Chains A and B, each alone.
Chain A
Amino acid sequence: MVTLYRRLPRVEYVQPKTIEELLALRAQYAGKGALLAGGTDLMPKLKRREIEAPGCLIDLKGIPDLAYISNAEGDGLRIGALATLRAIETSALIQATYGILSQTASSMASVQIRNRGTVAGNLCNAVPSADTAPPLLALDATAKLMSQKGERIVPLDDFFIGPNKTVLSDDELLVEIQVPRVLPHSRGVYLKLTQRSSMELAVVGVAVMVSARNGVCENIKIALGAVAPTPMRAKRAEAVLRGQHFSEELIEHTARTAAEESRPIDDHRATQEYRRDMVEVLVKRAVIETISP
């Protein structure tokens, strides 16, 4: 039984004005300061007493210009730590070149939540069903992490280490998500299995990016959500199809391999067996969708 207090625990609140100031606070509070971006995951967790109250909430929103979505040099997409899900959904730049991301964002929660919640926050909360993770994994995204000691670039594939756990350390900030240029002839889709059509977490999420030419699969990336302790790439499944001519048999083999690679659990939303079966169905459907005219 979850006790619902509805009131927030007593926490301090600070709003640094620069990244340097924020990183100093991160270092100073160590494990006792929680980063606050949109707050759409953090506030319910605090109200439900699901996590220990941090001594202090460190709000990113005092730092100017962290909400950017840019493709300045045409060498790839850069998403700032404060770019909201609604901004991703409605950005003309993303819709034109990274349609899978706007499509994914539009599938999440409600307008109210998307107006506040950020992509970076969705990744840092690191729930296995985080919707933005599979498409970003399929796009080979990397995360730029900063601390007072310097910065590092972590492939998203190495970013998640368990349910609600990432490599982000107590003194770091995920400052930017970087997405490489999409190959020509590429298409991607995110399929989200849910019981309702909105306000729903993924029971299974499947993202597929395919670059196809003349009936040949030049490259393919498959990423799965909600079927393992972390969002994951299905690399053995990708290898089945990469470099091959598309055929129904090979696509089915790919989908079966992805299902074998997944490591779902039973919970109140679905059984392990059902989730695994649905990985197969959705991967097949997603690959066919990306290569259909």
Chain B
Amino acid sequence: MKQITVTVNGTVYELQVKSWATLLDMIRDDLGLTGTKEGCGLGECGACTVIMDGKTVNACLVLAPEADGKEIITIEGLSRGGQFHPVQEAFMEQGGIQCGFCTPGMILSTKALLDENPNPTDEEIRRDMAGNFCRCTGYTKIFESIKAAVRKGDT
């Protein structure tokens, strides 16, 4: 077992983790934050996307011990005082959700994209979201949700 100190959604945790546990295992099983989903488990689908030190990562490919000293944001960490994050609002308003499994990853990738580039072009949106798969339907509503989130940032 490894002793790690990790900040998740602003709370500091001291945890004992197996050296072969992933960050995803830690978030879901040790912290009970099941908003982060396991899709492919291989870094292809983006369902497990979380933000680590400001950058999106596939939590299924990061070892829990590698997260020692890091700051993690999961989908549970976006709302503030009962208020949804503007990106979450945008996805709800535009119906950018069907089954919901890809949604936490989609929203966190959108947040990271807009933090870095508040006014992305359509092409930049499509390119930067390439690592988040939706298997329900097309990407039209998701794309529209991201465009709506961009507009919210403008106001």
Contact = CB atoms under 8 A, between A and B. Distances in A.
Interface string B116-145: 000000000001101110000000000000
A6 interface: yes
Contacts of B60: 6, 43
A59 B67 CA distance: 12
B118 to A, nearest CB: 16
Contacts of B151: none
A16 interface: no
Interface stretch (A66-74, A111-119, A226-234): A111-119
A65 to B, nearest CB: 16
B123 to A, nearest CB: 10
What is the size category of the interface that chain A forms with chain B?
Answer: 20 to 34
A40 B128 contact: no
Contact of B42 (A44, A106, A115, A197): A44
A190 B107 CA distance: 32
Nearest to A198: B130
A44 B127 CA distance: 23
Interface of A: 4, 6-13, 15, 36, 39-40, 43-44, 47-48, 57, 59, 61, 86, 106, 109-113, 115-116, 197-199
The 7 A-B pairs with the shortest beta carbon distances in the complex, nearest first, are: A110-B131, A13-B19, A198-B130, A6-B41, A8-B20, A115-B55, A44-B42
Given A48-B42, A197-B130, A199-B130, 11 more contacts: A6-B38, A13-B19, A43-B63, A47-B42, A57-B63, A106-B127, A110-B131, A111-B56, A111-B112, A112-B56, A112-B57
